[in-house]
Chains A and B, each alone.
Chain A
């Protein structure tokens, strides 16, 4: 990780999978973190830019710390970050969060129910906690 990562926000990159509710949860969890829980410590980036190999996006995931959120075991977000030369400091799986919400009806790929929002908030909290830990580590190193 470059020294330049020190004062840049942690990038939270969801898969935003279009086929299932898990993708929507990954996306909305990202916005909960970047807009509400840790707006100063985190930011997001279009995963599609990595598919395109956009030079600025590739440079960003190489220089900044990343947390990926994937909806399914294909782990598109994590894999695309790594294929671009970055590294996911933490790779969160939405399916893991479902284990704490047995029997939940989270909604669809288009809309979340209250159960779905609860799961998204759990995922977001896990990501926000990890981002805070990464920032603390940076401060200690400085």
Chain B
């Protein structure tokens, strides 16, 4: 299985009885829609029993991660029993610990702890997707015949900001901005520290450059917030 062709399957338990089930569903959607849209697919867990042969073969045709809300691990058990072995298994209660206590089952009651929990779990899933894709890459040739590389080894699309009058491309800045907006990080001097920390993961910033980056990122984030903030939805 080459990395160019591989999409990682994510199967969420979506357990209805507990908030962690809602978190598993929404974090999985977050990875599919935003964090790793080109590298992931999903299927409804109950289809392994109610569906056809093709649907039951899901875990045989995709390296699959299960995302379970509680230690009963229904998604993992159901996938392995009815579809095939999994490549990774996450349990939200282990990831979040007590952080899920203030979370809700319904979207109607969703608040900041819910959003934080969803992002945290989504990032864990994305990291697991990357790990699996890296393993697939390591057993494949690494490059296709026409010399193109798989998407996971390509640079993350960037956004240009102006630092000290010069254009600088920051990898993943659009995604970072979206993530900060979703976390209600303010476009002001308080919020810029969290934003700068996220940017530093993908882009090297020397200590002496920080003030200039801080100003440039804040200006860009203010503009982004104006265009994409909740009041514009």
Residue positions of A touching B, CB distance < 8 A: 13-19, 23-24, 27-28, 30-32, 35, 44-52, 54, 74-77, 79-80, 83, 109-112
Instruction: Check A52–B77 contact: CB distance below 8 A.
Output: yes
> What secondary structure prevails in chain B residues at the interface with A?
helix
> Which B residues are CB-close (under 8 A) to A18?
12, 14, 25, 28-29, 42-44
Q: Is the CB of B46 within 8 A of A51?
A: yes
Contact yes or no, B44 A30, CB < 8 A: no
B108 at the interface (CB under 8 A from A): yes
The answer for the CA separation of A18 and B50 in the assembled complex, in Å, is 15
A27 CA to B51 CA, complexed, in Å: 20
Contacts of B51 in A (CB 8 A): 74, 76
At the interface, yes or no: B141 with Cβ under 8 Å from chain A?
no
Closest chain-A Cβ to B49's Cβ sits at a distance in Å of: 6
Say whether B75 faces chain A, with CB atoms less than 8 Å apart: yes
B13 touches A46 (CB 8 A): yes
* CB <8 Å contact, A13 and B29: no
Q: Which of B15-23, B132-140, B190-198 is found at the contact surface with chain A? A: B15-23
Chain A residue nearest in CB terms to B79: A51
**Which residues does chain B contribute within 8 Å of A79, judged by CB atoms?**
46, 49-50
Q: Separation in Å of the A60 CB from the closest CB of chain B? A: 11
* Cα separation A51 to B75 with both chains bound (whole Å): 8
In angstroms, how far is the closest chain A Cβ from the Cβ of B181? 14
In whole Å, how far is A82's beta carbon from the nearest beta carbon of chain B? Answer: 9
A49 to chain B, nearest CB (A): 6
Residues of A within 8 A of B47 (CB): 74, 76
Q: How far is the CA of A104 from the CA of B26 in the complex (A)?
A: 23
Q: Closest approach, in angstroms, between the C-beta of A20 and any C-beta of chain B?
A: 10
